[in-house]
Structure 1
Amino acid sequence: MLKIGSHVSFSDKGLLSAAKEANTYGSNSFMIYTGAPQNTRRKPIDSMYLEEGNELMLKNGVEEIVVHAPYIVNLGSYKANTYELAISFLQEEIRRTHAIGVKNIVLHPGAYTDMDADYGIQRIADGLNDVLEGTNETDVNIALETMAGKGTEIGRTFEELARIIDKVKHNERLTICVDTCHIHDAGYDIVGDLDGVLEEFDRIIGLSRIGVIHLNDSKNPRGAGKDRHTPLGSGFIGFDTINRVVHHERLQGLPFILETPWIGKDVKTQRPMYEVEIALLRGNVAERFGIEFLSQVEELHSYFATQEMDPRVFVLDIWNLLKNDAKAKKADPREPLERLYDMVLEANLFPDLSEEGMNQRIIACLAGREIFTK
């Protein structure tokens, strides 16, 4: 069965809260941080409701979840205190991941800052050697994440990741987390040649080493090196490509994790589109949302046709406008999904729907008519 879920919070009642949240989206997998992703403060693992969380996961059919290391860990740093903190903290995160019962902890490899890529690769490999040799939890793998290529981060190419792996003694404990937005932004043509990209990955690293896949659309054209996520269908990758990734025969059995951003006009009431994104990828939208949902999506298609516009083309045009025309962005900084929402709201198509409900239907519309006729 397709393992698909989203990033969820890990607070209050720890794993129990995370499992409850994931279930509201229809997830049968999910990803957590064991504390705030921006710092190293952590509650004792025995206060994280692990038993109760695992019981609820079992009840909800969740077989595998993923942990993500905090963003502040930088094994590529030349600064001794930053580097040593990264090693000791990552060792503790591995112990916490083991206690939760998870086999993959996702890690951004690191950035070389004022040095160079060769230095960064060696520094990260040395750090991983120290981390792995200093932990006995051999059932926990470090999943090095493919990166978008911004700044001095390492992992923007398959070759960089392969060089790290080759330098690590216990590299059987290294897996890869493939992020669709990141590899697109790094220049890999998953839209036009997904099979070719997978073949290249297999030749350089090996598809068997993939442990996790992050699902994100991108606000930027291929090769931009920006790493800016957007909900599925509302970016330059598009729903069709993400759907092909999820159902690709060579990627079956892996956990697919959504990291798409929350959307909404009011920051206080913003919501993720995880529920509809998961249903679209599973192909059970009618079962999840009801037959009326499908008719409302068709009504959106008809409405946009009367406006002589293709909503997906509109979305990409607006991203390009916001990127390339500073005056236009200053005059109207609204992102594409907000503009589509405002159009539908003004047309008064669904006066009884909440903002979240309307956005869910817009996301389904951007997936295209074909997804509902297969």
Structure 2
Amino acid sequence: MYLGCHLSITKGFKAAAETAVSIGANSFQFFTRNPRGGRAKEIDPQDIIQLKEIMSEYDFGPLFAHGSYTMNLSSDKEDVREFANMVLIDDMKRLMQLPEDTIYVFHPGSHVGQGPEIGTQFIVDALKEAVKINPHANIALEGMSGKGTEIGYRFEQLKDIIDGVGHESIGICIDTCHMYSAGYDIVSQPDDVIDEINSIIGLNKLRAIHLNDSMTELGSRKDRHAKLGEGLIGVDALINFITKPELVNKPLNLETPNELDGYQAEIELIRNRVSNLE
């Protein structure tokens, strides 16, 4: 099982990988740049060489490169879209300096009242340009909770983007909190949810999983992550979901509200629970 959590790369990728190993992880997620801004630190090629050495030694799975929260490709404001497109293109170039199987995860965007059809087309247009820059990118649209005017909280919306771009590099990342909040009952009907992903999008397009509990109820359309076992999904349901045959080999990263020791405890919990099922 490839399992990690969100880590800072302030001290470099090698240091983040060493931290991951120290807490029992064999993957990690990082922001490509300031999550609330647009600045990005230059990538040191030597740091990436050392990162790859650690990843090879400890059998790492794919890393998750998370796009900035300020990137709204579907905004109703042209200057906001232009900024988002610039960030996306720059991230595609930066991705080429990272390990080849790195998964680029980002929030599709919010249409801000102009309607999901218009917003979706803006996202499609931006991604068409992005894959021209990096046709081998591994891009995963993150499924959202549906708060406000978010696009991508229904599987059909994610499919519309994928079909609109029409490029094999585009897939999805599911988030257990977001799915539950969006109305997908992974507690009582996990098999039905998986079947729905497969029938609408295709499990071959499922690149990554964010693992979280949810502070809010099924269908609340609120984005409130909880630590594992401290939310309304619960540890049993989460373990049951991620160990389904269709999902068991998908890379996972925690996005729970934790410090490092909390992530370590959750990683140990998951590995122990999964091991007991084998």
Shorter-chain TM-score range = over 0.9
Relative contact order, higher structure (CA 8 A, sep 6+): 2
Match of 1:201 in 2: 197
Note the C-alpha offset of 1:56.
2.0
Once residues 53 and 146 of structure 1 are traced to their aligned partners in structure 2, the CA distance between those partners, rounded to angstroms, is: 29
Match of 1:116 in 2: 115
Match of 2:128 in 1: 129
Note the C-alpha offset of 1:199.
0.5
Q: Identify which of 204, 211, 215 aligns with 1:215.
A: 211
Match of 1:180 in 2: 176
The structure that is helix-richer by fraction is: 1
Is the Cα–Cα contact under 8 Å of residues 30 and 64 in structure 2 kept in the other structure?
yes
Q: Identify which of 87, 90, 113 aligns with 2:88.
A: 90
> Which structure is larger by alpha-carbon Rg, 1 or 2?
1
Amino acid at match of 1:83: R
Match of 2:269 in 1: 280
Is the Cα–Cα contact under 8 Å of residues 25 and 267 in structure 2 kept in the other structure?
yes
Corresponding position: 1:40 with 2:29: no
Q: Identify which of 124, 134, 139 aligns with 2:136.
A: 139
Once residues 18 and 84 of structure 2 are traced to their aligned partners in structure 1, the CA distance between those partners, rounded to angstroms, is: 31
Match of 1:244 in 2: 240
The Cα offsets for residues 293-313 of structure 1, whole Å up to 9 and x where unpaired, read as xxxxxxxxxxxxxxxxxxxxx
Note the C-alpha offset of 1:98.
2.0
Amino acid at match of 2:268: A
The Cα offsets for residues 3-40 of structure 1, whole Å up to 9 and x where unpaired, read as 1111111112x101210221122001111113321111
Is the Cα–Cα contact under 8 Å of residues 162 and 171 in structure 2 kept in the other structure?
no
**How does the TM-score come out when normalised to structure 2?**
0.94
SS at match of 1:31: strand
Is the Cα–Cα contact under 8 Å of residues 125 and 168 in structure 1 kept in the other structure?
yes
Q: How many residues align?
A: 277
Which runs of 5 or more residues in structure 1 are unaligned?
A: 263-269, 286-370
Once residues 153 and 116 of structure 1 are traced to their aligned partners in structure 2, the CA distance between those partners, rounded to angstroms, is: 10
Note the C-alpha offset of 1:284.
7.2
Runs ≥4 in structure 1, deviation > 6 angstroms? 371-374
Amino acid at match of 2:111: Y
The Cα offsets for residues 172-201 of structure 1, whole Å up to 9 and x where unpaired, read as 110100000000000001000000001011
Note the C-alpha offset of 1:373.
9.6
SS at match of 1:95: helix
After superposition, the CA RMSD in angstroms is 1.9
Is the Cα–Cα contact under 8 Å of residues 186 and 222 in structure 1 kept in the other structure?
yes
Amino acid at match of 2:138: N
Match of 1:55 in 2: 53
Name which of structure 1's ranges 148-157 and 109-118 shifts more when overlaid on structure 2.
109-118
SS at match of 1:147: coil
Is the Cα–Cα contact under 8 Å of residues 61 and 251 in structure 2 kept in the other structure?
no
Once residues 205 and 56 of structure 1 are traced to their aligned partners in structure 2, the CA distance between those partners, rounded to angstroms, is: 34
Which runs of 5 or more residues in structure 2 are unaligned?
A: none
Is the Cα–Cα contact under 8 Å of residues 88 and 131 in structure 1 kept in the other structure?
no
Note the C-alpha offset of 1:127.
1.6
Amino acid at match of 2:210: H
Note the C-alpha offset of 1:272.
4.8
The Cα offsets for residues 309-350 of structure 1, whole Å up to 9 and x where unpaired, read as xxxxxxxxxxxxxxxxxxxxxxxxxxxxxxxxxxxxxxxxxx
The Cα offsets for residues 28-62 of structure 1, whole Å up to 9 and x where unpaired, read as 11111133211111121126711122222222221
Match of 1:5 in 2: 4
**How does the TM-score come out when normalised to structure 1?**
0.70
Corresponding position: 1:253 with 2:249: yes
Is the Cα–Cα contact under 8 Å of residues 62 and 103 in structure 2 kept in the other structure?
no
The Cα offsets for residues 188-247 of structure 1, whole Å up to 9 and x where unpaired, read as 010000000010111111111000000000001101111101111110110011111221
Q: Identify which of 125, 147, 151 aligns with 2:148.
A: 151
Is the Cα–Cα contact under 8 Å of residues 246 and 281 in structure 1 kept in the other structure?
no
